Chains A and B, each alone.
Chain A
Amino acid sequence: MIRRDLVIIGAGPAGMAAAARAAELGLSVSILDEQLRAGGQIYRDVDRAAALRGDILGKDYKHGATLTDGLRRADIDHLPGAVVWAIEEGFRISYSQDGQGAQIAAARVLLATGALERPMPLPGWTLPGVMTAGAGQILLKQSGVLARNAVLVGSGPLLYLIAAQMIRAGTPPAAMIETQGRGDIISAMRHLGGALRGWPYLLKGMKMLAEIRRARVPRFTGAQGIAIEGETRAEAVTLTSAGHSRRIACDTVFLHHGVVPNTQAARSLGVGHEWDHLQNCFVPALDEWGQSDVAGVFIAGDGAGIGGAKAAEYAGGLAALKIAEELGRLDPAACMEQAAPLRAALARERAPRAFLDAAYPPCVEALAPADNTIVCRCEEITAGDIRRYASLGCLGPNQAKAFGRAGMGPCQGRFCGLTVTALLAKANGRTPDETGHFRIRPPLKPVTLGELAAMDSQMQDAAE
């Protein structure tokens, strides 16, 4: 089995930055990425797409190319299309690439698996034609594919970014249905200091809003009672805004109300998580270097807590420095010295977070869906089902899973976990921390029995 000092999972900004710095410091590094091309989601397919669509996507996107360049060193083993399905202590990482199972051993593991869209269960959200705003961005970034007649629904700066990009590409959104209201912006003002410290970010936001205004895209704020209509595909979105009911016809709906850390790999390792009240999600408990409460497991990037692409880069660098120091390749003084500029940059990047989280909170009705709204997409379990399991004594998601299969489908709770926890917490009068989350076990991603079995004989052959 190949042994490395450091195995990184995920080739987004955190993973790529960590890989480059670790290699520079003389560590042996493998970076495993389930995507076929490096860049993660934020810089999705940047090597091919920057030239084709860079002007629509913006300067920030093109920056990703400097990071993918950083991977092209002989001393970084980059494995694209490598789907990790188990990480066992030691560490032994099992993955699948091109239909073949393989394993790699590591002294340290850095989880850089990024974020997922916060689940947004609304009536009709499972219809064809309904996608996350992130999916809309990926279609544009990687494939240049644009939705002709799309409505954006939810809250958060990503909606403005994608609207601006669609406008520049010539297919403006048919409407923007925003769930944040005046009250949210006003309550966010107490964090204005932080926002102003992160002024370049705010300035970008204001420019995008101006673009959207100039393009005369209809915006409905304080939206409530949102539902997606259609028989076999999305046909319209209905809502109430400023006291008026509306029905907006469309072919595509992009949903978004924030992103949350992708905690699957971390949970499978038993990393401790806490409920973050500001970001309304579970975040791993980490020290200032990204070390978790499981020895040897580091987490950097949005998987550690939502901070954006630049913050991910700096955090990846910090983790690499600490790992190099732990493995004796960097003395503590040099480690602190090299960390200082990264910490300063990280603080600047994090400055506007509190303001943005307060100004664009999650959509309340999606956090507490109506009884007949599907919350587990894979097994088609509704919010009402979950509430019923609470009445049958389910205190937490694992009991609820046993009763109703929520979380048993292929996505393994990625899109229902937070919702199930929230519903059970509310029904049982307990906090999310007390309620807990799905127990995550291998396989992190499905793997064929044939591949699994082949590893069995590989071990036997090796032993002979």
Chain B
Amino acid sequence: METDYAIIGGGVVGLSLAWGLLRRGLTVTVLDGDDGSFRASRGNFGLVWVQSKGMNQPRYARWSQQSAAIWAEFAKELGANTGQDVPLEQRGGYDLHFSEEALEAKLAKYETLKAQLGGDYPYEVLGHNALRKEEPHIGPKVVGAILHHQDGHANPLRLLMALAADVRRMGGRVLTGKTVTDVTKPDGFRIACADGTIVRVGKVILSAGLGAAELGPRMGFKAPVRAQRGQVLITEKLPKLINRPSLIARQVDEGGIQIGATNEEVGLDDRVTQPGLSGLAAKAIAAYPALAKAQLVRSWGALRVLSPDGLPIYQESATMPGAFLVTCHSGITLAAAHANLMPDWLEGRDAAPNLEVFSEDRFAVS
């Protein structure tokens, strides 16, 4: 065996897992695609987000909370190891509302979830005037917001870069430009790539985002992941306008304001459209009217990796024990958990978190 693990997919999920395993003294080979691959790790909104997760599955809300709670320490460690800062701000985040009815409906759901979590779900409701004190630039159409204190945002690209550096520093072997074509288990795992590269390892993790749809079934997984496009806008660098992030807009550490996002089922199409951009611009201006004069500098479409219920999938293969599927659409929020808590699960340790609810059993046809 060349290394203990091979990780197929070098995005934030794959690199977080690689990092965690390397820290436990295990050896890792990461197989990553090329410059043109769809990379959700490169196109996301950078939120480290607790609210709205697991509205129908408290265990997912809890998992998100656990990750958010250890994110700062994770970022600090990456920064100290690599000399590369991973900007993070966790001062809460908003769910902004333009109608009282929608706000009330959401609140009812949050109340239910809070009860299921034994009261550990710290949020408060801000009416327009209270919100205005926190966000001087909020527009008149915003009737109020739910402020959840465990929310925050990070610089996802710096996270990715720091992970790439630290994985290498710890001796992780990273092979780039690789397309995995086949995974077999003669004894141990044999991974074959399109360019003829063969890698032999003890265990395999499939964390290739949308790539799992094709490769997964051949490894004994259902891998029911699909693409959902989110168009995102980013403005020129601006003076401070937005204090806390929301799904509508956040001001990134470099000064630009990021505006998101659409939810489109268009297959593997990551282009942007004028109607998509215009709709997002209109919503952002409704929330923060001062943005009308801001210049849009860039836009992109990124493909979310969605399971049918939107929750992560963590599954060991029944037909190929030692092969694991790890996929989610909140790779940034869950990066800290993937790095610090998942290795115990992969290694079958007692300290492993209970991730039953994320198994593929839930997709069984009854």
A binding-site residues for B, Cβ under 8 Å? 86, 88, 92, 94, 103, 389, 392-399, 402-405, 408-410, 412, 435-436, 439, 441-443, 446-450, 452-453, 455-457, 459
Contacts and interface: CB of A to CB of B under 8 A. Distances in A.
B252 to A, nearest CB: 11
A86 B157 CA distance: 26
Contact of A453 (B235, B292, B299): B292
A399 B35 contact: yes
Contacts of B254: 405
A94 B274 contact: yes
20 contacts: A88-B273, A395-B177, A403-B157, A403-B160, A404-B161, A408-B297, A410-B236, A412-B297, A412-B298, A436-B35, A443-B277, A446-B295, A448-B295, A449-B233, A449-B281, A449-B296, A450-B281, A450-B291, A452-B296, A457-B282
A88 B274 contact: yes
B294 interface: yes
Q: Which of A392, A405, A455, A457 has the most CB of B within 10 A?
A: A392
Interface string B1-44: 00000000010000000000000000000001011100100100
Given A396-B35, A435-B35, A410 B297 contact: yes
A443 B299 CA distance: 7
Contacts of A403: 157, 160-161, 164
Contacts of B177: 395
Interface in B242-300: 254, 259, 271-275, 277-279, 281-282, 284-285, 291-300
A452 B277 contact: yes
A450 B292 contact: yes
A315 to B, nearest CB: 29
Contact of B282 (A103, A408, A446, A456): A456
B296 A443 contact: yes
B259 to A, nearest CB: 8
Given A393-B10, A446-B236, A456-B279, A86 B274 contact: yes
A442 B275 contact: no
B176 interface: yes
Nearest to B271: A441
Contact of B274 (A92, A389, A394, A436): A92
B319 to A, nearest CB: 32
Given A392-B168, A395-B176, A403-B157, A441 B300 contact: yes
Interface string B149-188: 0000000010011001100100000101100000000000
B264 to A, nearest CB: 15
Q: Which of A393, A397, A408, A410 has the most CB of B within 10 A?
A: A393
B13 to A, nearest CB: 15
Contacts of A449: 233, 235, 259, 281, 284-285, 291-296
B161 A453 contact: no
Contacts of A395: 34-35, 176-177
A442 B272 contact: yes
Interface in B294-319: 294-301
Contacts of A459: 275, 278
A410 B272 CA distance: 18
Interface of B: 10, 32, 34-36, 39, 42, 157, 160-161, 164-165, 168, 174, 176-177, 233, 235-236, 254, 259, 271-275, 277-279, 281-282, 284-285, 291-301
A448 B298 contact: no
Given A92-B274, A449-B292, A453-B284, 7 more contacts: A392-B161, A398-B42, A412-B297, A446-B296, A446-B297, A452-B277, A453-B282
A410 B238 CA distance: 13
A403 B12 CA distance: 13
Nearest to A437: B35
A403 B36 CA distance: 15
Contacts of B285: 449-450, 453
The 10 tightest CB contacts between A and B, nearest first, are A396-B35, A450-B292, A456-B278, A452-B281, A453-B282, A446-B295, A453-B281, A449-B281, A456-B282, A402-B42
B36 A398 contact: yes
Given A86-B274, A453-B278, A396 B295 contact: no
Contact of A408 (B36, B278, B296, B298): B298
A167 B99 CA distance: 69
Q: Which of B168, B278, B293 has the most CB of A within 10 A?
A: B278
Nearest to B15: A393
Given A392-B168, A448-B293, A449-B296, A455 B274 contact: yes
A442 B295 CA distance: 13
Contacts of B278: 452-453, 455-456, 459
A403 B298 CA distance: 16
A46 B162 CA distance: 53
Contacts of A457: 282
B140 to A, nearest CB: 16
Contacts of A455: 274, 278
Given A88-B274, A450-B285, A402 B157 contact: yes
A408 B234 CA distance: 10
A289 B235 CA distance: 38
A90 to B, nearest CB: 11
A86 B301 CA distance: 14
A58 B298 CA distance: 41
A28 to B, nearest CB: 22
A393 B277 contact: no
A94 B298 CA distance: 15
Contact of A393 (B176, B275, B298): B176
Q: Which of A94, A409, A449, A459 has the most CB of B within 10 A?
A: A449
Contacts of A389: 161
A177 to B, nearest CB: 35
A404 B236 CA distance: 17
A54 B117 CA distance: 80
A441 B235 contact: no
Contacts of A392: 161, 164-165, 168
Given A399-B35, A456-B281, A442 B299 contact: yes
A418 to B, nearest CB: 16
Q: Which of B39, B281, B294, B301 has the most CB of A within 10 A?
A: B281
Contacts of A399: 35, 39, 42
